[in-house]
Amino acid sequence: MTGKKILIVDDEPNIVLSLDYLVRRKGFVPLIARNGMEALSVANEHTPDLIILDIMMPDIDGYDVCQTIKSNPKFSHTKIIFLSAKSRPEDISKGLSMGADKYVTKPFSTKQLLVEIIELL
């Protein structure tokens, strides 16, 4: 399981900070992107195994990133977890309808998130 690449996409540096540490600690290779555009180019370059994706971002939002990734056969094995502060039921069902594998709301529990990540990989 170690060595798998996890792309962290969030425009909030302090959240990236915690996620980066968490992922690295468990032996995954973290990749960082601070907005949607960056996320797509990093993903293209490294083909991550999993993407932790924020929804509200300044340029391309998480929904679009998710759809773009999921519609590309190159990423057929790439899993996506939405990590968003949007917590209404309709937000969650919208996120899942975009093809994401999991939807975790902020503030999240590190342990829970880790369980979801391991489950997916």
Partner 1 sequence: MSGLIVLVIVAYLAMLFFVAYRIDASTRLRLRVANSPTIYALSLAVYCTAWTFFGSVGGASAYNIQFLTIYIGPVILMPFLWFIYRKFIRISRAQGISSLSDFIANRYDKSIGLNRLVAILLMLGIIPYIALQITGIDKAIETIVTNNGTEQNDWLSYVDTSFLVTLGLGYFIIIFTTKRFQEKEQNTGLVGAIALESIVKLIVFLFFGVYIVLYASDKPQLFADFDASKLKLNPNNDYGQWFGMIFLSALAFLFLPRQFELGVVTAANERKVKRAIWMFPIYLLLINLFVIPIAIVGNNMFAGHKMNPDMYMLSIPIHLNNGWMALLVLLGGFSAASGMIIVATHALSKMVSNAILMPSFINNRFVLNRFKDRNHKIPVFFRRLSIFVVLLLAYLYHKLVVADFTLISIGLVSFVAVAQFSPAILGGIFWKLGNKYGAIIGISLGFSVWLIFLIGPTILNLNVHGVFGTGHHSIRPEGDLITTVLFWSLLLNTLGYIAGSILTKQTALEQNQATLYVDIMNYSTEVDSGVVWKGTAFFPDIKSLLSRFLGERRVTAELNHFAQKQGINLEDQDELDSRLIGYSEKMLSPIVGASSAKILISSVVKEEKLSMEDVVNILEESQKIIAVNKELQQRTDELKRVSEALKLANFRMKENDLLKDEFLYTVTHEMRTPLTSIKALSELLSDEEDAMPEEIKKEFLNTILKESNRMTRLISQVLDLENFESGKHQLIIDKVDISELMQHCLQSLDGVFKQNNIQVCIDIEENLPDLEADHDRITQVVLNLLANAAKYCDKESGKVWVDISRIGSLLQVKIADNGPGVIPELREIIFEKFFQAKNQTMRKPKGSGLGLAISKKIIQLHEGKIGVNTNDPEGSVFTFSIPFTQNRD
Tokens of 73: 């056969």
Binding-site string for partner 1 from residue 75 to residue 114, where x marks contact by CB under 8 A and - marks none:
----------xxxx-----------------xxxxxx---
Among 11, 26, 70, 96, binds partner 1 (CB under 8 A): 11
Q: Nearest approach, Cβ of 55 to partner 1 (angstroms)?
A: 8
Interatomic CA distance for residues 11 and 40, integer angstroms:
14
Among 57, 81, 98, 117, binds partner 1 (CB under 8 A): 57
Among 4, 12, 29, 96, binds partner 1 (CB under 8 A): 12
At a CB cut-off of 8 Å and minimum separation 6, what does 116 contact? 81, 102, 104
Between 4 and 106, CB nearer to partner 1: 106
Interatomic CA distance for residues 114 and 19, integer angstroms:
10
Give the ranges where 26-71 is alpha helix by DSSP (H).
36-46, 62-70
